[in-house]
Chain A
Amino acid sequence: MTDAAVSSRQSFAARIWRRTLDGVGVKLGLAWVGLLVFCAVFAPFIANSMPLLISRNGEISAPVLNYLAIEDVWILAGFFIAVAVSRLQLSGGSKFMLFLAGTGVAALIAHVTVQPPALVIYDDFRSAEYTQADWRIMPPIPYAPGDYLRDLGSKGLEAPFASDSHLHWMGTEENGADVFSRMIHACRISLSIGFIATGIALAIGIVVGGLMGYFSGVVDMLGMRLVEIFEDIPTLFLLLTFVAFFGRSLYMMMVIIGVTGWSGYARYVRSEFLKLRKQDYVQAAIASGLPLQSILFRHMLPNGVAPLLVAVSFGVAGAILSEATLSFLGLGVVDAPSWGAMLDQAVKSSTFNWWMAVFPGGAIFMTVFAYNLIGEAFRDAIDPKLSRRGGSES
């Protein structure tokens, strides 16, 4: 057996993944998303007003750790669990389950054990008495997103590099907080709302659409009525209503965007599956007695997924924009910064401050673009006709 044959002997998923990475555009896209993930996970360590490490009177402490919020802890835990799990020799499904379980446990433990101080006065960390230390290590950006720098007499809306005394890479917003710091912390919302809302929508859409398309008949008829009902729900008004009743919560937003946004995916999957189920190779799979799971997800889905991927890359962008819309309406998450809310601030301030619009706007653009690049590469990877045969021919 030749080397080429051996290298082809990977699982379906591994081959797809290898071929997805086989391009420049997708690498850039993944690099951007990777950067976002890094920023989102380590935001408290990148941009914060308190020192990472400080030594006072020979006593070394890490104030950042003391002030970590509950979600900071479980995002960190989730990240390290994901890294650890991906190194294990397990199948994709069990890896995912392990990751979910681990993160769940970590979240539970964080909720019980982590009790950050209810009130943080950032000014204290710059007080003369606090800075009297042997040495201290500050984060790269020494401002927390919610630190309005009142003690420094900030008047807000300071352009980048305008002040000599305090360096602000991207300037400050109207309340005086550092824009770069807010940008970094806002990665979390944009990433998570895009991934999770679209993930929820996609999971529901593929299952419902797949079953409709595969079984057709009565299942299809009932499913389509369900799709129509969900299409009639105005997502924005539902979000507004929920915000009014239950307050502002990022997670609720994700679930609502996800639960109401699957109908389009379901339609795509349904129409593809209706077309595919009469294909001879699907009939052959049925005739071979393959389990339904394999017929649906191995023989049909990869052949019907191309239009879905384009829809998904727009869906992720749409979810980010939905959140931006809500924030724009002033109904977004209050305490945490988001790119949408920052754009909103740029519009609202009396004068046009370019740094308030360019950085968050650019970030949204880059993110949507990155998802598009990845989606496109993935679409090409699952089409063997388009892929260059990675080494197995040469």
Chain B
Amino acid sequence: MNQPLLQVRNLRTYLRTGGEPVKAVEDISFDIAQGETFCLVGESGSGKSISALSVIRLLPEDIASHPSGEILFNGRDLLALADAEIRAVRGAQIAMIFQEPMTSLNPVLSIGEQIIEALQLHYPQMAMDEAEQRAVTALIQVQIPNPGERFRDYPHQLSGGQRQRVMIAMALACQPQLLIADEPTTALDVTVQAEILRLMRQLQDDTGMSMLFITHDFGVVSQMAHSVGVMQAGRLVESGLSPDVLGHPQHEYTRRLLASLPENLPKPSKNTFPSGQNLVWAETNKAQHHQGGLHSPTASSAVGVAANSLLPQSSLPADAVALEVSKTEPTASSDDVLLQIRDLKVWFPVKKGLLRRTVDYVKAVDEVSLDIPRGEIVALVGESGCGKTTLGRAVLQLEPVTAGSIAIDGQQVTGLSQRELRPLRRKMQIAFQDPQSSLNPRLLVETTLTEPMQVHGIGASRDERIELAAQLLDDMQLGREALWRYPHEFSGGQRQRIGLARALALNPEFIVCDEITSALDVSVQAEILQLLLDIRQRRDLTLLFITHNIGVVEYLSDRTVVMYKGKIVEQGMSAQVCGSPQHPYTQRLLAAVPRLVLK
């Protein structure tokens, strides 16, 4: 068994979409040995998924072609197989699981039926009893509780993590030799991700299968991979054993990617910046000096604290700096609270029956009290469905508040009419997660930016407002000509910058950032995070940064608030919360985060 299970040799995959062929995969080669996990890692569009789909030949044949290369699986070239032969290999010997557990199961068939269908496809002679038995076994393997009962459940009755388990069970039912997993945990919460990853490692130990694991998350790579391939623009720029690649990256791109991870981003207090980002930072410092005298007296104390943490203190580790701040903090913050939330409840009624009587409530946010000090970045952490986004939207009165109060700068926000609320809208803004839907596709960037200014009487004339909008884009490091373009002409990271520019258009004091970097690649995320620190400093902003990414929290925030099932379970200075979590849930959350800290 010295021959590797899968050998990919000089694979090229070209896609014909419209005119020019897209060279999605350019000349990649890698081996996967029996029982080994090979991780393909790279940013979106790097060709990692296309590579995986090429291996299992799932790309539509009319648009995809392979000008060169061979894929040897057990010594047979998969690219040379006929359709009927590759179908016998697919599922039975090579199985695949996908990213989105919500859409990869058929909603109208029970999960048992779906597993049995996969089995019967490859073993037509298998009896129904045996198929059922093996399906239940597969469910037991993936640790679904009560597999006998869940067997008849439909996908909508399962949680996201359970669905991904069912997907794995389906893939494993035929006992494949190779499992291709395309970002299997990206859509899941970190604690669920940790469980799934553990499960997959365990199943690999039990069955001795090989895995081709595709991910963009280096933390996951470090936990899963025996060997790693780093892809950039269709090429495999570096590959090797996992500890070698992650520990001693040879290629410039790998190094840059690793340095972009939030846990490896230079804290503002250090001076070691990766190349290419120095410029941004130099600009920031300049701006700081420039605007030093412009801060209002009321904000000066908070700015002092914030600036303090930004001063070069290279002798102290970052945690120590933050801790030091936290010791001096409570007295300063108590009398300078920008946003005060008291006993906030956002309950969504569950209505049933003919008369639509309210039978129950979904308590999205339940009795939350929170103070956000002026000039600080408060991270709101939690898993999906914990109410963090609802809380952020409730602050801006985008969700109706059931009970409780929200006050910004001492002014009540709750219980106001839209008209009364309008002047307060200037003070608080929001930036969203999804770059696809955060900008109106039918409006020019210029209109998106200047319309709120016009409504709030900022800028005397249209030309003046356009000038202000252009300056905003300058601040966001986008060119002025971006004003006259439509959102679909921009990349995800650029759109997030425009989204931030829109939030800043009214010159607010407070911005809710709702997972603004979650949909972005790590390198783009790093740029946006640095930009955010920069504008926060320049404009004396207070941020409520909603995220599920602990690395981002540690990098960015002054304070951390942890939410679980609609309630705040822990809050405090970030270094404290992340360094020595008190609440069991916080501890579990932090333990689940896959990290990759550079030595």
Contact = CB atoms under 8 A, between A and B. Distances in A.
Contacts of B440: 281-282, 285, 299, 303
B177 interface: no
A176 B68 CA distance: 79
B455 interface: yes
A302 B440 CA distance: 10
Contacts of B452: 285, 288-290
A349 B439 CA distance: 61
Contact of A280 (B423, B437, B483, B486): B437
Interface in B421-480: 421-423, 425-426, 428-430, 432-434, 437-444, 446-448, 451-452, 455-456
Contacts of A4: 484
A4 B484 CA distance: 9
Most chain B CB atoms below 10 A, which of A282, A285, A287, A292:
A287
A289 B430 contact: no
B173 to A, nearest CB: 38
30 contacts: A2-B481, A5-B481, A5-B483, A5-B484, A8-B446, A280-B432, A280-B499, A282-B440, A284-B432, A284-B502, A284-B503, A287-B396, A287-B398, A287-B425, A287-B429, A288-B451, A288-B452, A288-B456, A288-B505, A289-B426, A289-B452, A289-B456, A290-B452, A294-B451, A299-B440, A302-B442, A382-B442, A383-B441, A384-B441, A384-B442
A302 B443 CA distance: 9
A279 B429 contact: no
Nearest to A292: B418
Contacts of B439: 281
Interface string A175-214: 0000000000000000000000000000000000000000
B455 A288 contact: yes
Contacts of B502: 284, 288
A288 B442 contact: no
A385 B398 contact: no
Interface in A298-330: 298-299, 302-303
Contact of A279 (B423, B437, B503): B437
4 nearest interchain CB pairs? A289-B425, A288-B452, A280-B432, A280-B438
A392 interface: yes
A4 B444 CA distance: 14
Nearest to B448: A281
A8 B484 contact: yes
A385 B437 contact: no
A387 to B, nearest CB: 9
Kindly name the residue among B418, B421, B442, B481 whose own CB sees the greatest number of chain A CB atoms within 10 A: B442
B488 interface: yes
A90 interface: no
B259 interface: no
A289 B398 CA distance: 11
Contact of A289 (B422, B444, B481): B422
A283 interface: yes
Nearest to A300: B440
B506 interface: yes
Interface hub of A285, A382, A383 (most chain B Cβ within 10 A): A285
By secondary structure, the A interface counts as helix
Nearest to B431: A284
Nearest to B433: A280
Interface string A1-16: 0101100110010000
Contacts of A385: 441, 486, 488
Task: Report the interface size class on chain B.
Answer: 35 or more
B455 to A, nearest CB: 5
B270 interface: no
Contacts of A9: 484
B393 interface: yes
A291 interface: yes
Contacts of A226: none
Contact of A384 (B422, B455, B486, B506): B486
A219 interface: no
Interface string A367-394: 0000000000000001111000000100
A12 B430 contact: no
Q: Give chain A's interface residue range (CB within 8 Å of chain B).
A: 20 to 34
Contacts of A287: 396, 398, 425, 428-430
A238 interface: no
B505 to A, nearest CB: 8
B451 A290 contact: yes
A289 to B, nearest CB: 3
A384 B488 CA distance: 8
A283 B393 contact: yes
A167 interface: no
Interface in B64-82: none
A298 B443 CA distance: 9
Given A5-B484, A290-B455, A284 B443 contact: no
Contacts of A286: 398
Interface string B355-369: 000000000000000
B429 A288 contact: yes
B434 A291 contact: no
Contacts of B448: 281
A4 to B, nearest CB: 7
A299 B443 contact: yes
A8 B444 contact: yes
Nearest to A8: B484
Contacts of B484: 4-5, 8-9, 392
A12 B438 CA distance: 20
Interface string B397-430: 0100000000000000000001001110110111
Contact of A281 (B422, B425, B438, B456): B438
Nearest to B444: A8
A19 to B, nearest CB: 12
Contacts of B456: 288-289
Given A281-B439, A289-B425, A383-B441, 19 more contacts: A5-B484, A12-B443, A280-B433, A284-B430, A284-B438, A284-B503, A287-B425, A287-B429, A288-B425, A288-B429, A288-B502, A288-B506, A289-B422, A291-B455, A294-B451, A384-B442, A384-B486, A384-B488, A385-B441
A298 B455 CA distance: 14
A298 B437 CA distance: 16
A2 B480 CA distance: 11
Nearest to B396: A287
Nearest to B424: A289
A287 B440 CA distance: 14
A290 B439 CA distance: 15
Contacts of B451: 288, 290, 294, 298
A17 to B, nearest CB: 14
Contacts of A303: 440-442
A363 B392 CA distance: 58
Nearest to A294: B451
Q: Which of B423, B428, B455, B505 has the most CB of A within 10 A?
A: B455
A283 B441 contact: no
Nearest to B470: A1
A2 B430 CA distance: 32
B447 to A, nearest CB: 7
A256 B286 CA distance: 69
